[in-house]
Structures are given as structure tokens and as C-alpha cells.
Copies of this chain bind each other. A is one copy, B any other.
Amino acid sequence: MNKSTGFNNQNKILIITGGCICEEFLKSLVLNEQYTIIIVADKGLLAAYNLGLEVDFILGDFDSVPANLLSEYKNSASKILRFPSKKDKTDTEIALELALEQKPGIIDLIGATGSRMDHTMANIHLLMPALEQRVNAKILDPNNKIYLKNQSFTIKKDEQYGDYISLLPFSSKIEELTLRGFKYPLDGITLRAGSSLAISNEIMDEVAYVEFKEGILVVFETRD
């Protein structure tokens, strides 16, 4: 039950959803990040249960969750929200909407990647509403940290996740993209959908600058 219960101005929310979850990774994340709210969607409950996590919201249709697992949480402080399986939104989308209602500073999403690429890519799309509300939302797994950006930003070398930085256009193009502090710099180019030009870059300076005038980028900080 390693969860800080203190509420602060910058609510840090963890969403555990139903993809592939490395429990060791989840454990270290919960220990280090001190989330104020934990939301569990669908099969993510299994990982939460295995680690003895105290959670705030549990949601899903629970078709694929053992019944005794849910009853274990019934007498806890967790709010259980049941949704029908025939709905327009995925459990992850509902979880993200619920997270945004809590006015968070940070949303970390785990269990959002896995063998089904449609789920992984849909989950990247689901980061859009958070971006529009200027919430720092990201997908995490042992190899990847994935987020969207609609304006220039920096990455500190000693805070990066893994060794590589990759940028892909999420909108159809990125206007006037400039990279400074990277092994492969760029100077005011247009990055279009279909180009892998900005893949597997490396940070050389203490701070790397990603500057652009228009568009939405998907940013990947990755390790092999």
C-alpha cells in the first residue's frame, strides 16, 4: 500500500490499464512517483492487486477480471465504476476523462502498450485531450516514454528516459522544426507524415531544444 494520500496542487495521477504490464516496473514507479490518485481500468486491476496497491477508482466492465478480485476491493475506500462493454469509449478513454476531471498536473498511463498495436496507437491518440488542457500526460513502459507536444520544449540529458529521442509528426506536418543539442541537429525543416528523419536521435548537450512553429509532435524517449 505504497501510496501517498496527501493532496497537493499538482495532483499526480497514475492510470493502470489493461495492456502489457511489467509489475517490477509498476512497483518502482509507484514507489518513486508518489501518486496522489490511482485509477485502475479493467485488467489493470490484476497488476494492482498483485502489488497490494491501494487504489482510488476501479472502472471497466470487469468481464475479464476474476470476480473475487473485485470483491477484495469492495470494502476498501476504492470507488468501483461499472460500465457496459458495449460502449463508444474504451476503458482507457473513460479513465483518462476521469483523471482530467481531477484537475491533475501529471497523468502517467501504464499498461497502455502491448502486443496489440491498435490499442497502443489508440492510447497515444487519447493523450490529445490532456494536451489541449495543458496536462502533462504520458505513456510509460520499461522501454518507452511517449507524449504529445504542440509547442517548443526542452529535454535535460540527465532526466531523459533511455538513450534515444524520436520525433514523429502526429499532425500531418510540423512547420519549422529546429533541433539543438542533439547528435543530429535540424534547422527549420518541415517534417511531414511519412518521414523517419527524426528517429533515434541522441542528446549531446546538457539540454536539448526541440523548437517548432506549428503542428503536433509525438515524442518518444526510448531505451533498447
Chain B residue numbers with a CB within 8 Å of A88 are 197
A117 touches B196 (CB 8 A): no
Q: Report copies per complex.
A: 2
Chain B residue numbers with a CB within 8 Å of A93 are 196
Bound state CA distance, A216 and B169, in angstroms? 14
Chain B residue numbers with a CB within 8 Å of A118 are 144, 164, 166, 168, 199-200, 220, 222
Bound state CA distance, A194 and B117, in angstroms? 16
Interface residues of A, Cβ cutoff 8 Å to B: 88-90, 92-93, 113, 115-126, 128-129, 142-144, 146, 164, 166, 168-172, 193-197, 199-200, 216, 218, 220, 222, 224
Bound state CA distance, A128 and B88, in angstroms? 29
B143 touches A116 (CB 8 A): yes
Bound state CA distance, A121 and B117, in angstroms? 9
Chain B residue nearest to A220 in the complex (CB):
B118
Q: Can you list 12 A-B contacts (CB < 8 A)?
A: A93-B196, A116-B222, A117-B120, A117-B143, A117-B146, A118-B164, A118-B200, A118-B220, A118-B222, A119-B199, A122-B166, A171-B193
Bound state CA distance, A18 and B187, in angstroms? 29
Bound state CA distance, A124 and B172, in angstroms? 14
Chain B residue nearest to A122 in the complex (CB):
B196
Chain B residue nearest to A183 in the complex (CB):
B86
A194 touches B126 (CB 8 A): yes
Bound state CA distance, A171 and B90, in angstroms? 21
Given the known interface contacts A116-B224, A128-B194, the answer about A121 and B168 at a Cβ–Cβ threshold of 8 Å is yes
Measured CB to CB, the closest approach of chain B to A50, in angstroms, equals 21
Chain B residue numbers with a CB within 8 Å of A194 are 125-126, 128-129
Chain B residue numbers with a CB within 8 Å of A195 are 125
Chain B residue numbers with a CB within 8 Å of A166 are 118-119, 122
